[in-house]
Structures are given as C-alpha cells and as structure tokens.
Amino acid sequence: MNRMVLSAQLVERGAVRYTPAGLPACDFGLKHESQVTEAGIPRKVSLEMRAVAIGDLAQRLMKLEIGSTGTFAGFLTHQRNGRGTVLHVTEFE
C-alpha cells in the first residue's frame, strides 16, 4: 500500500495551474520536524518535501497561509521530471 500521512507546515506554494483535463492543480512545499524513537534512542527528524494537490483540494490549499500547519495525507510518486519524490495530497486537515 502506498499511503503517507504527514504533519507539516506549508512553506512554499506555486501558482495555480491546470491539468490537461482542466482540473486546478497546486504545487507546494512542506516542512516536517519532530522527534521519534529509533532502536530505543530519541532522534530529531527534519525534512522538506514537494507536494501537489489537484481539484477541489488544490483550491482549498491555495487559501491556506504560508506557515500554516496541518495533516497532509496521500500517496508518493516520482516528480514529473523524474527527479525526487512528490506527495500527491488527497486529504488535508
């Protein structure tokens, strides 16, 4: 199963674009920082990743202020240019 849930901060947002099917799409950047336990040892985790939302969710995320935090859920795939990974957001709280 390919499902990811990430508590993150919105740190970057591109302009609205449209898919070939005419749906609105929004590319954005997310930043996550937390502490987890690995092998019984606390570890600080920090990451930034690219994300995209399509359709009604894209329009909703366009209204979100930079710096806002939330829970982003969706699936992972490669970027259009084949370099890196992108989270396709299908749910947001």
- pTM of this structure: 0.88
Average pLDDT over residues 65-91: 91
Contacts of 83 (CB under 8 A, 6+ apart): none
Beta strand extents in 1-93 (DSSP E only): 4-13, 17-18, 24-38, 41-54, 69-78, 85-92
Helix (H, G, I), strand (E, B) or coil at 20: coil
Structural domain total, the chain: 1
Residue 79 or residue 13, greater confidence: 13
Query: With contact defined as beta carbons under 8 Å apart, do 64 and 58 qualify?
Result: no
CA–CA dist 28, 12 (Å, integer): 5
Q: What is the pLDDT of residue 87?
A: 96
The pLDDT tens digits for 3-32 are 999 999 999 999 999 999 999 999 999 999
Domain carrying residue 41: 4-92
Helix (H, G, I), strand (E, B) or coil at 61: helix
Q: CATH code at 18? A: 2.40.50.140
Q: What is the pLDDT of residue 26?
A: 94
CA–CA dist 62, 54 (Å, integer): 11
Q: What is the pLDDT of residue 39?
A: 94
